[in-house]
Structure 1
Amino acid sequence: METDTNLDTTRAELLNDDDEQPTKIIVVGTKCRQDPELQKAIKALDIPVTFSNTGLEHIAEAGTDDLLFVIGDFQDEVFHKLHRAEARIVGPPVVIKCAKYNQTIPQCSRALYCTSMRGLIVCFTGFSKQKLVKMADLIHHMGGSIRKDFIPSKVTHLVANCTGGSKYRYAFSCGTPIMNDEWVSKAWSMRDDITVKADCGELMKHRMKPFYKCFLSFHGFSEEEKKHVEEMTLENGGTLAPIGHEDSTHLVVDDHAVKELPPISTPQFVVRLEWFWASIQIGACADETMYLFDEHKQEPQNVNKFTPTSAMSKARKRKRLKENIALLASEGEIDSPFMYAKRPSFERVSMSPNSFLDASGTPEKSSFLQDTTQPLADSPPKPQSTTKASPRFQVVTELLQTEKNYVGILETILKVFKEEIEKPSQYNGPLLKPQESKIIFGNIPPIYEVHCKIRDELAEILSNWREDHSIGDVILKHAEKLGKIYPPFINFFEKTKEMIAKCDKANPRFHAFLKRCLTKPECGRQTLQELLIRPVQRLPSVMLLLNDILKHTNKSNADHGKVEKALAALKEAMTHINEDKRKIEGKVAMFDIVYDIDNCPPNLLSFHRNFEMRIDVMEISGGLSGRGDHLSLFLFSDSLEICKRRMKALNQMKSPHHKTPHKTPQKAFKHLEMMPLTSVKRVLNVVESDECRNAFALICRNNSEFKEKLYSFTIDCDETKKMDFLTALSKNMANTMCRADYENLMTQVDGKEFNIDMTDMGTNSISKAFKFGKRVSRAFSFNKTPRKLKRAISNMSNMFSQFPPETNTYMGTPGSDLRGRRLASSIDLTDASSPLSSLTNIHEDGFPDSDTVSLGAFSVQDLDSPTFTQPSPMVKRSMTKYMTMGPNSTGKYL
């Protein structure tokens, strides 16, 4: 209900250019007197100030503009007395703000507590007079003004208490923000903050929701759909009501599933589902009269349209069957040049929702194409020959028809989706940000322009058809352009889908828009993602049709060779598209890799470098991180990045329950070494055996020290096969060294020749013990163990107990775990017979030498290091033999 009010004010009252600074300030009340910010501001204004408990002693001179009263409470009796005396009253925020920004204190006829609504003109609708007067006073105290009549050029905000009425519709159509009454009260509660503006920031979240005070019922929905629309109703301020309930204001009907209403007392509005999504999309209650559900306009179902009656004769049945088959077969040829008159029954069928889809799910035609019910005046005439159209003509016609369908889909994407999404004049602004819209639609316009030209040229050929007309020339003319416009779209198609899914989930207006588009016939009940996949499929479809044209073209026809050239050009274009896609995916993967590696070398990300593949391994040698450590090898076109896998970080990435919001998440990989492929001299494929499973090794040479090192690994994943990785590594090594014989860079060896042994890597405990012994050997003397390591030593000792559980019979039953562990914890670590003594070589001073730590496997150290546990002469000879880069007399590498 709209109520008249005489509270109209004008902008001039609040934006007076002739504001004059007062000559004296009266600070009223103890609270204002003790406000340090206010005292500092008055001092900065350099105006004489007087402190008073009530200020009433100056009421006789209150009517002058030279005297300014500063009051902190606009609700007490002192304020009302001074206000009735027409005193010039402001709140502390006004003085503080003017002093901070060196402004003149505004002069107006109304009391002004703050300026958070200065410059705003507000109109009301739907409130009682008592509520209206209260809100009008608050708006005046915050510097705003009031208008009784809604004039778009003079009203900045409408405060409403209902979703109907002329003011509401007018404000919505003009794009004026429609606020609820909480907007005024929230702005008043923040009146002491001088940085707050009522028309921006958090306060603009108090827009009126689309279904405010609406009671919605739903009919014709599945359980899943009903649950979804009910959730959206509650999120947008609506209330759910059972069908037929007396409080129900709207009955929302799925017009695709419901033909007539149930026998219930209908509410005020019975609307189609499109009204529901349109309201959420625009952020306001859409006009119900535009979306009314009229059951009488629904097309009656005719399930027996093609079913002959039992009384028909056999001949009549055969004739009817033939007609039905021809009718359905020609349904996809609505715009075909040789289609003429159609029966009325066909027109009804062609306008059904299913007629917008061809066999592949493609909409048969867009609303932007010519209406099939109109006379085909602009359609090309049929061939002059009275004989049946040739097979070549029919296939070319099919090519034109699919091209029209495809252009219609692209036009639907641009007109129905892109233009509506980017339209700035819609209420609440564009649906998506410019960068989001560019990611989704940015590569479509060039594709649309080229295919429009192809469509027009094909239509021109068919309108004056001759068998010697060249179809190959049309494709060859645009082949180069097709090879340029498609890669940007196809390469980033996955990103496009991700952006659509992200916006659909995070933006309710965009979600409602997509749902609303599903009801439009030109979209063929297909989602935006389903329509956007058509450009990915188009070039292969054109190639199939060109193959059919080639089959029906005589070799004597000049177009035969041109069609072959067109096919070759399209095939080459698709090859380049696939290659570009692979390169782009590699570049994108490089950014992800760099982001996931801690301490990643900055030069890893390079324009000339491409990512090839990744393989997860366990280290056998121990020269990079430690024997048994989990590593990942990232193979690039010219280098090999070796990282340590942080299993805890990887598990946290997989499980969201372990996230710590107050901590920076640990990266999944830690950089160990970036190895140029030029330093890898030979790839060793270790023969499979019981001791070596899925093992391989690399012989590398440090370019600065010219020392050979051997790194051995075993594959720790099932996704990548060993030979696939070794072959890719060898090929990239050959490319880097400008060699053509990549097979000769890989050699098959026996693991025993290089001490590559995995017999002790079956359990994690041995691997952890080895790493622990190597890590702490420098940290303590065995004569005096630090307190922090007592527990770790005890745990490590359990692994090497002289009394294993299965043979322990001392003071316990056979196989007693407890007794075995007790005895193990009391082992003398300095005892020469202790198993732990074999882990290290002990110097005379009692400290171990960690560089000689070994568990019997081949340790990777500098071969010339004096502390290195020298391998056997056989191992030395083997490494020297396989470092030979040239073949022997038999042509094989030694």
Structure 2
Amino acid sequence: NSGFKKKQKKVKTSTCLSFQVHSCIRNTADVVLDREIMRQKQAESSLESSNQASPLMRKKPLRQHDSYLHRLSVSSSAALWQDIPDVRSSGILASMTLDQQKLQEVKFELVSSEASYLRSLDVAVDHFQHSAELNGVLSNQDKQWLFSRLQEVRDISSNFLNDLEERLEDDILNFSICDVILGHCPELRKVYLPYVTNQAYQEQTFQRLQSGVPQFQQVLEKLESSPVCQRLSLKSFLILPFQRITRLKLLVQNNMVKVTGTGGFPENNAVTGTVCLFQIIKDCNESVRKMKSTEELIHLSKKIEFACKIFPFISQSRRLVKHGELMDLEHGTSVRRKMTAPCMIYLHLFNDCILLSKKKEGGRFVVFDHAQFSKIRVEKCELKLYGPQKNIFRLFLLQNNAGKQVVFLFRAQTQSEKLRWISALSEKKEVELLECQDCPQVQCLKAYKAQENDELTLEKADLLMVTQQSNDDWLEGVRLSDGERGWFPLANVESISNRHVRLRNIKEKQRITKATANFQKISG
């Protein structure tokens, strides 16, 4: 306890000087991402002046009263490692390459942004979670769901920042931090995994309290009006841990790994840090996905009844891939089909099976057929039946619940809906990067939260390889950083038109993938 308090006191001393919460949140989110987007844009420009000054060099003269601790506490785009007086006076900048300077700036930014993040956590814990007024209107269960393990997240961040600062102060000219990140990954995972997994309960609890408990609304409005919040809401503080773990990975992977050179200890250390952070994020996402899938199955099981052969519905490995209503134009066996009046059929597609239902009042579904995923096939077709028709495809159940082969001719409302169903119903093939050098690429300019199961949640600066595009402005793509596939709106991304930049992005992905595979092979 005394050791922790000593560390916390040191950290708070270094972060309390003229610090603004709004600046800290911008630094942990937009500054890093804007810089990554700018990196892509600069690379797309084919004309670069040879006399152009280094983008890392500060045009404005350094003020004499600026100090290391002051700059560390003020998280903004102007807080640069090269502006530290000891660094400037050492003369080391003249002997460093641009990549070496960039690497030091990224490492310094990681430290300073962690200080900003910790300051915001202090507000979340001390001002909100420990508020006597707020605790007076919350039940113990509501407190647990609303704040989860936020205080533990703050304590881990405090220890993490203390070790980062010590490393920085030991050798300000050539400090390393990837081994510090590696050392703290087990503790980061221990607190981030339960906190992120609790997100759904956190959101539900907040909405219920906000809409149904007047006392909660009144106390919250009073707390949020405090100057310490800088007009930011409680929700802004609660989502910080979700954002921070992703930003850490982005800083390490998209910056440190890319400028440490190929091979050798520095790259291996940076890649190892990337692998560990990626694993934390992957575990968090998988935990959230499993919890969401189980809740969906339980909720759906209460609304489904079988008019055909019944099978065990709830399974730990089953997850909903896509669902929706389609127009049935024709169906029957492979030998005998019958044209009927068009009717609506509701499809629930899971990772291991598909259910075909008639939707009833009250949101209930009567299942009349089902099949295993391995026993279905889909066929894209552009037939003209009953006059000009669009967005048609065939679904084959090679072996339905009665052991027969049946065929359905479905019509979707839009081309994107048709393409999304065809993609969801098809077996996914592993994307080979070497075969995709000329595939379109885009970069996310505006974050997007997935609204349906087959969509991809995008973070600002994400790089994606496009696999197909609909005529109503939806794209399907693969995110280069983690290989996740899904659909997203065209309005949230910008095309990368320069082929050299696209090739560079693929090579960087291949380099990280290869180094990651080598690390995983060595470690176990």
Question: Could you tell me the TM-score, scaled by structure 2's length?
Answer: 0.56
1:710 pairs, out of 406, 411, 415, with 406
Question: Is 1:610 the equivalent of 2:324?
Answer: no
Q: Distance in 1 between matches of 2:364 and 2:208?
A: 27
Shift of the 469–634 alpha-carbon distance from structure 1 to 2, 3 Å rule, reads same
Closer, same or farther in 2 for the Cα pair 1:579/1:714, shift >3 Å? Answer: same
2:157 aligned with 1:441, yes or no?
no
Q: Cα deviation per residue 1:148-191 (whole Å; 9 max; x = unaligned)? A: xxxxxxxxxxxxxxxxxxxxxxxxxxxxxxxxxxxxxxxxxxxx
Amino acid at match of 2:406: L
Letter in 2 for 1:569: C
Distance between the aligned counterparts of 1:329 and 1:716, measured in 2? 66
Inter-CA distance 439–545: structure 2 relative to 1 (3 Å threshold): same
Match of 1:859 in 2: none
List aligned pairs for 1:60-71, cutoff 5 A. Answer: none
Render the CA deviation track for 1:236-273: whole Å, top value 9, x for unaligned: xxxxxxxxxxxxxxxxxxxxxxxxxxxxxxxxxxxxxx
- Tell me the amino acid that sits aligned with residue 294 of structure 2: K
Describe how 1:141-220 pairs up with structure 2 within 5 A: none
The amino acid across from 2:296 in the alignment is: A
Q: Is the 8 A contact 1:612 1:636 kept in 2?
A: yes
Give the whole-Å Cα distance in 2 for the aligned partners of 1:394 and 1:678: 50
Amino acid at match of 2:370: M
Q: 1:710 to 1:433 in 2, by over 3 A?
A: same
CA change 1:490–1:602 in 2 (3 A) is: farther
Native 8 Å contact 1:643 1:669 kept in 2:
no
Q: Deviations over 1:525-559 (max 9, x none)?
A: 21001112222221333244435456776889854
Instruction: Say which structure is richer in helix.
Output: 2
- Indicate conservation of the 8 Å contact 2:318/2:352, yes or no: yes
- The answer to whether the aligner puts 1:637 opposite 2:346 as a matched pair is no
The residue type paired with residue 697 of structure 1 is: L
Q: Deviations over 1:440-496 (max 9, x none)?
A: 211423422322221010111122216554311011112344345434434553542
1:512 and 2:188 are equivalent in the alignment:
no
Instruction: Give the letter aligned to residue 610 of structure 1.
Output: R
Residue aligning to 1:677: 372
Q: 2:203 and 2:133 mapped to 1: Cα distance?
A: 18
8 Å Cα contact 1:468/1:558 also seen in 2: no
User: Residue 414 in 1 paired to residue 109 in 2?
Assistant: no
Please state how far the C-alpha of 1:701 moved relative to its aligned partner: 3.2
**TM-superposition CA deviations, 1:550-602 (whole Å, max 9, x none):** 67768898544312321333234334444444444433433443344456968
What's the counterpart of residue 280 of structure 2? 573
Contact 1:597 1:668 in 2 (8 A): no
Q: Distance in 2 between matches of 1:622 and 1:396?
A: 61
- Which of 229, 234, 247 is 1:541 aligned to? 247
Alignment equivalent of 1:387, drawn from 75, 80, 90: 90
Q: 1:680 Cα deviation (Å)?
A: 3.3
**How is 1:838-857 mapped onto 2 (pairs within 5 angstroms)?**
none
Cα deviation 1:697-722 (Å, max 9, x = unaligned): 32443566x5x342413234438533
Distance 1:323 1:721, change over 3 A: closer
Q: Which residue of 2 aligns with 1:697?
A: 395
| Distance apart, 1:385 and its partner CA | 8.9
Q: Give the Cα separation in 2 of the matches to 1:552 and 1:479.
A: 22
Please give the secondary structure, in 2, of the residue aligned with 1:629: strand
Displacement of 1:677 after TM fit?
1.0
Map 1:298-447 onto structure 2 (within 5 A): 335-336=70-71, 383=86, 386-387=89-90, 391=101, 394-420=105-131, 430-447=136-153
Find the aligned partners of 1:612 and 1:718 in 2 and give their Cα distance: 19
Counterpart of 1:489, as a letter, is: Y
CA pair 620-680 structure 1, distance change in 2 beyond 3 A: farther
The alignment of Structure 1 onto Structure 2 pairs a total of residues equal to 350
Distance 1:535 1:324 in 2: 34
SS of residue matched to 1:603: coil
Report the CA distance shift for 1:593/1:458 in structure 2 as closer, same or farther (over 3 A). Answer: same
Matched-pair contact (CA < 8 Å) for 2:152–2:191:
yes
Give CA deviations for 1:309-346 in whole Å, capped at 9, x if unaligned.
xxxxxxxxxxxxx9997569969x76446x9xxxxxxx
What aligned pairs does 1:476-625 form with structure 2 within 5 A after superposition?
A: 476-483=182-189, 485-546=191-252, 547-549=254-256, 558-597=265-304, 603-621=312-330
Q: Note if 1:722 corresponds to 2:418.
A: yes
Tell me if structure 2 keeps the 8 A contact 1:586–1:612: no
In structure 2, the residue corresponding to 1:504 is in which secondary structure?
helix
For 1:415 and 1:404, locate their aligned partners in 2 and report how far apart those are by CA, in whole Å: 16
Q: Distance in 1 between matches of 2:276 and 2:328?
A: 49
CA contact (8 A) 1:679 1:701 kept: no
2:96 is aligned to: none
Q: Is the 8 A contact 1:395 1:549 kept in 2?
A: yes
Q: What SS class does the counterpart of residue 731 from structure 1 fall into?
A: coil
Instruction: State the shift of 1:621 in Å.
Output: 3.9
TM-score after normalising by structure 1: 0.34
Which sections of structure 2, spanning at least 5 residues, go unmatched?
Answer: 1-57, 94-100, 430-524
One-letter identity of the residue aligned with 2:126: K
C-alpha displacement of 1:519: 2.8
> What is the CA–CA distance in structure 1 between the aligned matches of 2:189 and 2:325, rounded to whole Å?
37
Q: Which amino acid aligns with 1:620?
A: L
Contact 1:550 1:560 in 2 (8 A): yes
Q: Deviations over 1:413-465 (max 9, x none)?
A: 122111226876xxxxx211222222221142342232222101011112221
Is the 1:617–1:632 Cα contact (8 Å) retained in structure 2? yes
Matches of 1:607 and 1:471, distance apart in 2 = 40
Structure with the higher fraction of residues in strand conformation: 2
Take 2:393 and 2:267, find their aligned partners in 1: how far apart are those partners? 56
Q: Distance in 2 between matches of 1:567 and 1:588?
A: 31
Which AA in structure 2 matches 1:604?
F
- Matched residue SS, 1:604: coil
The whole-number CA distance in structure 2 between the counterparts of 1:715 and 1:494 is 34
Counterpart-to-counterpart distance in 2, 1:501 and 1:328: 49
Q: Kindly provide the amino acid, as one letter, of the partner of residue 441 in structure 1.
A: F
Contact 1:472 1:566 (C-alpha < 8 Å) held by counterparts: yes
Shift in CA distance, 433/728, structure 1 to aligned 2, threshold 3 Å? same
Question: Is 1:616–1:715's contact at 8 Å kept on the other side of the alignment?
Answer: no
1:403 Cα offset (Å): 0.9
* Partner amino acid, structure 1, of 2:280: A
1:213-362 → structure 2 map (5 Å cutoff): 335-336=70-71
Unaligned runs of 5+ in 1: 1-321, 340-354, 365-380, 425-429, 650-666, 735-894
Q: In the TM superposition, what is the alpha-carbon distance from 1:405 to its structure 2 partner?
A: 1.5
What's the secondary structure of 2:325's corresponding residue? strand
Q: Flag the structure with more relative contact order, 1 or 2, with Cα contacts below 8 A and sequence separation at least 6.
A: 2
- CA gap of 1:421–1:359, structure 2 versus 1, over 3 A, is farther
Identity %: 19
CA contact (8 A) 1:622 1:628 kept: no
Give the match's secondary structure for 2:171: coil
User: Could you tell me how far apart the structure 1 residues matched to 2:373 and 2:425 are?
Assistant: 11
Q: Distance in 1 between matches of 2:189 and 2:315?
A: 26
Any residues of structure 2 matched to 1:15-30 within 5 Å, and which? Answer: none
